[in-house]
Chains A and B, each alone.
Chain A
Amino acid sequence: MSEHSTYVPGNAAEKWLDERLPVVRFAKEHLMDFPTPKNLNYWWTFGAILVLCLGVQIVTGIILAMHYTPNVALAFDSVEHIRRDVNGGRIIQAVHSVGASMFFAALYIHIFRGMFFGSYKAPREILWILGVVIFILTMATAFMGYVLPWGQMSFWGATVITNIFSAIPVVGESLLQLLRGGFAVGNPTLNRFFSLHYLLPFIIAAVVVLHIWALHVPGNNNPIGVEVKDKRDTVPFHPYYTMKDAFAMVLFLIPFAWFVFFAPDILGHPDNYIQANSQVTPSHIVPEWYLLPFYTILRAVDFNVLFINSQLGGVIAMGLSMLALLVVPWLDTSKVRSGTFRPMFKWFYALFVLDFIALAYLGAQEAIEPYTTLAKVCTGYYFLHFFVILPVLSRIEIARPLPTSISESVLGKAHS
């Protein structure tokens, strides 16, 4: 959006640089002058918070990697060595492990914000799809990171999750062996997961750059979902949103610090303080909380459908649940973006949020009644929401009248 540029090189050196590599101009246009709707609420600060989360994970992760040993005989003790003997290690390790949970908390809020305010709708489909790609990459990274301390849940989680791939027809078995580096989860698995866990965050960072690029072409969506009409609807990103985002980041760090310093293990599972043992299966294998909704969908299919066995069926369901996110711009075709003006969508959205929370809860429960039936119901509703409710609502719902512009809506709010 070069038309917003007010950059004038201040001196000969800046001018010289600007003609060769206009980085200063770029920063001025995109990090400072970028016109941003002035009515964004605090739900919009989670983008910046996620950048913070990724940064925190990369910095703490690089330090942890200096002291960690990816070997099945040494990994568990090397993590304890970090906690006990490395200066500041117990804080750095806690920030990294709690940080993964905080990352996902922010990620889910960011995604559900996009879903309520219709941020995936034209012209922001690519922006949304890149976001879903980041989400899936982050889940993969977090999963592999959880394997590294080589506790019981690390080992058995890795066994269960890699097993998913064996369900794929024809190539499944070979793929499984490639992932594990052998016939069972072992030292080669730990080594490749460590390597990939170090690599993926940088790929995520690259996709984040694309995500922000795709954001800066159409500009931000906003709570009323009416596009920016003129300059009066926006404020420059800096100082207005840099300040607001910075405040939100500090606020976000308060619960973050609470967990790091006062309950660093509460978001994990006690079994992961038992060193991995391939001879002893934990009575109940659960992934980390942030993977639970999808784990429930995977487990919900415990029946065969025609020639598809239950294992493959579960994998298809889980794949489809992520595919649903990717294609949601074409499922919800309502012209009205913001849920605020959609009287029926609002309620179905709330129901979907409850359904998603229920899926997470059920993922942590044992595979017994009534949980198995509830899991099927909630999984069914997940798909119903995307593939039936959203398309039907788009056709039958009568939206409330939209304000003509952001400025009008803001003024109306101020005077009412």
Chain B
Amino acid sequence: MLTFKTIIAAVAIAAGMAAAPAFAAEGTAPPVEKQSWSFAGIFGTYDENQLQRGFQVFREVCANCHSARLLAFRNLTEDGGPGFTEGQVKALAAEYEVADATAEGGVRPAVAADRWPSPFATDQDARDANGGVVPPDFSVLAKARGIKDAFPWWITNYFTGYSEGGPDYIHALLNGYHDEAPEGFDLPEGKFYNDYFPGHAIGMGPPLQDELVAYEAGEGQEPVPMTVEQYSHDVAAFMMWLAEPGLVSRKETGFKVLLFLIAFAGLMYATKRKLWQGIEH
């Protein structure tokens, strides 16, 4: 049946040739560099210190414009998160005021059960202050972004469980600013040029710069570099936690479930074999 084999081969080659130039054409931006994250892989867990640093960057920089409406103060104490103590979070919450129609004057200090207060009272206020666009909410933003792997390499992602496209993109974006747009690129007034933002013209100015956030090293700890590279790593990790706060317990459970299923399947197979032994099939 050589003829049929030839047809199949011809179709495969034709498809391959046709697809190749299309992928080459997409590569106008440098590809996003995948980072190594502590929460990647089967045994991935968040790094408490990194989440705390990321939270600091979020609080001091990002939160001035971006909301995180699904984040409650109490989440910051939960297992698998940044690991703040209840006392720390209570004190932190008390620094913020939240709207409460039942309180005197309509506002009261926040408690641990409150959600993170948004920087703008309404979407329209947010729009007015930010060039007509609401800065995206951070709650699940890390899962709302991703990167595209070229054909056919994305297939391997199903086997490695690669789910860090969001943080990889965020890290790349924060490091992807250029002072000037490349020649021939028409950058609209008030926009900034970024390698990784779709269309390259982003409304957000470079939010980070070296030494912007003062990290304090704990006793006996190496000081963490205060660079854009480090800040962007930390805040991307924090955003991943914010989007997926149960990641650690999910993976721990999953490991047990998989071990059980594999052992159980082995036993089931042995039983099935024994049962079918005398039957020619």
> Which positions in A face B, CB cutoff 8 Å?
38-40, 77, 80, 83-84, 90-91, 94, 235, 239-240, 243-244, 246-247, 250-251, 253-254, 257-258, 260-266, 270-271, 273-274, 283, 343-344, 347-348, 350-351, 354, 358, 368-371, 373-374, 407, 410-411, 414
The answer to the question of B161 belonging to the interface, with a C-beta cut-off of 8 Å to chain A, is: yes
Tell whether B103 is near chain A: CB-to-CB under 8 Å: no
Q: Which B residues lie at the A interface, using CB under 8 A? A: 1, 4-5, 7-8, 11-12, 15, 18-19, 21-22, 42, 69-70, 75, 136, 139-141, 143-146, 157-158, 161-163, 165-166, 198, 243, 245-246, 250-251, 253-255, 257-258, 261-262, 264-265, 268-269, 271-272, 275-276, 279-281
Q: How far is the CA of A313 from the CA of B143 in the complex (A)?
A: 37
- Distance of B21 from chain A, by nearest CB (Å): 8
Contacting pair A262 B42 (CB below 8 A): yes
Residues on the B chain within 8 Å of A283, using CB? 198
Please pick, from B11, B269, B272, the residue contacting A354 in the complex, using a CB distance under 8 A: B11
Given A244-B276, A410-B280, A260-B254 contact (CB < 8 Å): yes
Decide: B253 and A91 in contact? CB cutoff 8 A: yes
27 sample A-B contacts, Cβ–Cβ < 8 Å, listed by A number:
A38-B279, A77-B69, A84-B70, A84-B246, A90-B250, A240-B276, A243-B276, A244-B276, A247-B268, A247-B272, A253-B261, A257-B254, A258-B258, A261-B251, A261-B253, A261-B254, A262-B161, A262-B254, A263-B157, A270-B144, A347-B4, A348-B4, A354-B8, A354-B11, A370-B19, A374-B18, A411-B280
Rounded to whole Å, the gap between the CB of B189 and the closest CB of chain A is 22
Q: A263-B161, A411-B280 are in contact. Are A243 and B271 (CB under 8 A)?
A: yes
Evaluate contact between A251 and B251: CB separation under 8 angstroms.
no
> B262 is contacted by which of A77, A239, A254, A273 (Cβ under 8 Å)?
A254
Chain A residues with CB under 8 A of B258: 254, 257-258, 261
CB <8 Å contact, B162 and A266 = yes
Interface pair B254/A351, CB less than 8 Å apart: no
Q: Is the CB of A80 within 8 A of B19?
A: no
Contact B264 A250 (CB under 8 A): yes
Q: Shortest distance in angstroms between B94's beta carbon and chain A's nearest beta carbon?
A: 23
List of A residues within 8 angstroms of B69 by Cβ: 77
| Chain A nearest Cβ from B237, distance in angstroms | 17
Collect the chain B residues with CB atoms within 8 Å of residue A260's CB.
Answer: 254
Specify the main secondary structure of chain B where it touches its partner.
helix
A90 to B243, CA, bound (A): 12
Q: In the assembly, what is the distance between CA of A38 and CA of B280, in Å?
A: 8
Q: Are the CB atoms of B253 and A235 closer together than 8 Å? A: no
Residues of B close to A243: CB separation below 8 A:
268, 271-272, 275-276
Contacts of A94 in B (CB 8 A): 250
Contact B11 A351 (CB under 8 A): yes
Give the residue of A80, A369, A414 whose beta carbon is less than 8 angstroms from that of B70.
A80
Q: How far is the CA of A207 from the CA of B141 in the complex (A)?
A: 41
- Other than the given A84-B246, A244-B276, A273-B243, 16 more pairs (CB < 8 A) read A77-B69, A94-B250, A243-B272, A247-B271, A247-B272, A250-B264, A257-B254, A257-B257, A261-B257, A266-B162, A270-B145, A273-B141, A351-B4, A354-B11, A410-B280, A414-B280
The residue in chain A whose Cβ has the minimal distance to the Cβ of B5 is: A347
Q: Most B CB atoms within 10 A — which of A39, A84, A344?
A: A84
Known contacts A239-B275, A273-B243: A350-B8 contact under CB 8 Å:
yes
Given the interface contacts A243-B275, A283-B198, does A83 sit within 8 Å of B269 by beta carbon? no
A265–B140 CB distance below 8 A: no
Contact (Cβ within 8 A) A273 B140: yes
Q: Give the distance to chain B from A266, nearest Cβ to Cβ, in Å.
A: 6
Expressed in whole angstroms, the minimum distance between the Cβ of B91 and any Cβ of chain A is: 23
Instruction: Report the Cα distance A373→B70, complex, angstroms.
Output: 45
User: Which residue of chain A has the shortest Cβ distance to B41 in the bound complex?
Assistant: A262
> In the complex, what's the smallest C-beta–C-beta distance from B8 to chain A, in angstroms?
6
A253 to B262, CA, bound (A): 9
Contact partners of B75 in chain A: CB under 8 A: 84
Complex interface: chain A residues within 8 A of B253 (CB): 91, 261
Residues B276 and A247 in contact, CB atoms below 8 Å apart: no
The residues of A that contact B268 with a CB separation of less than 8 Å are 243, 246-247, 250
* Chain A residues in 8 Å Cβ range of B265: 247, 250-251, 254
Interface contact A240-B245, CB-CB below 8 Å:
no
Chain B residues in 8 Å Cβ range of A253: 261
B139 touches A80 (CB 8 A): yes
Which residue in A40, A90, A369, A374 is a CB contact (below 8 Å) of B15?
A374
Report yes or no: B144 in contact with A263, Cβ–Cβ below 8 A: no
CB distance from A187 to the nearest CB of B (A): 19
Contact A265 B15 (CB under 8 A): no
* Bound-complex Cα distance A347 to B7 (A): 10
Please determine whether B4 and A39 come into contact, CB atoms closer than 8 angstroms. no
Quick one: given A270-B165, A351-B11, are A250 and B22 in contact (CB under 8 Å)? Answer: no
A261 lies within 8 A of B8 (CB): no
Complex formed: what's the CA distance from A251 to B263 in Å? 10
A117 to chain B, nearest CB (A): 16
What's the Cα separation between A271 and B145 when bound, in Å? Answer: 7
In whole angstroms, how far apart are the Cα atoms of A260 and B101 in the complex?
41
Are A263 and B163 closer than 8 Å at their CB atoms? yes
| Residues B281 and A39 in contact, CB atoms below 8 Å apart | yes
CB distance from A158 to the nearest CB of B (A): 18
Q: Output the nearest chain B residue to A260 by Cβ-Cβ distance.
A: B254
In the bound assembly, the distance between CA atoms of A235 and B279 in angstroms comes to: 9
Measured between alpha carbons, how far is A40 from B276 in the docked complex, in Å?
A: 12
Cβ-defined partner of A262 (8 Å) among B11, B22, B251? B251
Residues of chain A within 8 A (CB-CB) of B18 are: 370, 373-374
Q: Is the CB of A343 within 8 A of B1?
A: yes
B68 vs chain A, min Cβ distance (A) = 12
Shortest beta-carbon distance from A37 to chain B in Å: 9
User: Given B4, B21, B146, B269, which contacts A270 in the complex, CB threshold below 8 Å?
Assistant: B146
| B280/A250 in contact, CB under 8 A | no
Contacts of B276 in A (CB 8 A): 240, 243-244
Contact residue among B7, B21, B255, B275 (Cβ-Cβ distance under 8 Å from A351): B7
**Across the A-B interface, the 3 shortest Cβ-Cβ residue pairs:** A261-B254, A273-B144, A347-B4
Give the CA-CA distance A59 to B165 in the complex, in Å: 31
B110 to chain A, nearest CB (A): 18
